[in-house]
Structure 1
Amino acid sequence: MRVEVWSDVVCPWCYVGKRRLETALEQFPHRDQVEVVWRSFQLDPTLPEGETHATLPALARKYGTSEDAMRQNMRQLEEVAAAEGLTYDLANGISGNTSLAHELLHLAAERGVQGELKERLLHAHFEESRSVFDVDSLVALGAEVGLDETEAREVLTDRRYRAVVAQEGATAQSLGATGVPFFVVDRKYGAAGAQPAELLLQVLERAWADANPLVTVPAADGCSGDSCAV
């Protein structure tokens, strides 16, 4: 069984969804026969590469609210994350273009460490306030999970995976995704948003037993476009 997960490394609901999927897989009797593949989905591919900005004031402006009100919304999401064992500091976060991070994840997939790098990037961004937007930062993070630094730098310089990143985003939309995380099991069943672990387990069980066309369960909290529900 293959579980494909479209997500972004700066999507707070995506990290929550990852933890919930892991919880569901722990309870799934056929866990050893499940392959998890992380697919690329950029929340905002229009952001200039190489530039970053503070997340809190940007979201406050986008939604026409005060920074204090946005900070309170972030605290609520931090409480959700804490229930999954995650320690967020959203008010002090930074945002930027994530194309390079996704490109490095494709190299990691070829080297057999995609899952490890996905976790490392999410942890770096949300729990360590480290950059996941520039070549030097990404090369260092990749090295921590076993990627060769020289090869990683070459990949991020020649941009050989750039087209694949865009293609995967288009594939997600063709499957009905309007936001992330978006889980697809064997291209038969889909679950949008950071669904509870219990529901993800049900999706896994149904996909294992059935061979029906893609069926998508009602969406849960997640990120759409260049924004997240915080």
Structure 2
Amino acid sequence: MPSRSRSASRPKTPIALTEQVPPPAWFPEYLRRLRETYAPDLPAPRRFPEPLGGVIRTILAQQNTRRVAQRQWEVLTTVYPQWEAALMDGPDGIAATLKSAGGGLSRMKADYIYGVLAHLEETRGELSLRFLRDFPQTPGGHEQARAALAALPGVGHKTVALVLLFDLIRPAMPVDGNMERVAKRLELVPTNWNSHKVERWYGEAVPPDWETRYALHISGVRHGRDTCRSQRPLCGECVLREFCPGAALFELGEAQP
């Protein structure tokens, strides 16, 4: 029986997304203008003493306004000063606590929170994610921390990236809906890419240091909220207008959001 060649059995390395869709020549200027406009003085990152708090706070923020998420967090941590109390109360009790604070999807978020707590109790014997800070500040260490977060029930790629960036001070590149909308309007990425693919592209395109990525996340979110809005974007005030193929059409009212 003929043996397979070594080249035939070797797994293919996936093509980088930035090879398929290279960043434009003006990409460094895009980074500079956003930071200069929206984050000239970077705010201190949110950093919970216990990274588990960061995970749960981020779960609450999903499909919620910042005000409602903060109110739910305050009620949750008042009712459960220790996460062991939430685990004992179970998903029904957590859901009732969240519902009392207002906001939607209380049951779903309660299931996620309980699932994270139960997973940690079962796999680590304690309700803590402090061990994530023990991984080295190297690409390998970042990947170990990412994999541990991704193994938590109900924790998707956006939550993982946010906790890595904000709570663990690791150079992840979270991309929210505002940043994704801006990227597609600027034609940085194809409009048919999903959010995970857009996040991967940014992860390849943006310099891999924590400060640049933190600055882009802060400034990119603010730009999408304040200027490049979903409806009626303020193209005349946009610092990226000269790079945007749709700006003139939006001003004429002919572009689709």
TM-score (norm 2): 0.25
Question: Relative contact order (C-alpha < 8 Å, sep 6+): which is higher?
Answer: 1
TM-score (norm 1): 0.27
Rg (Cα) greater in structure: 2
Kindly indicate which of the two structures has a greater share of residues assigned to strand. Answer: 1
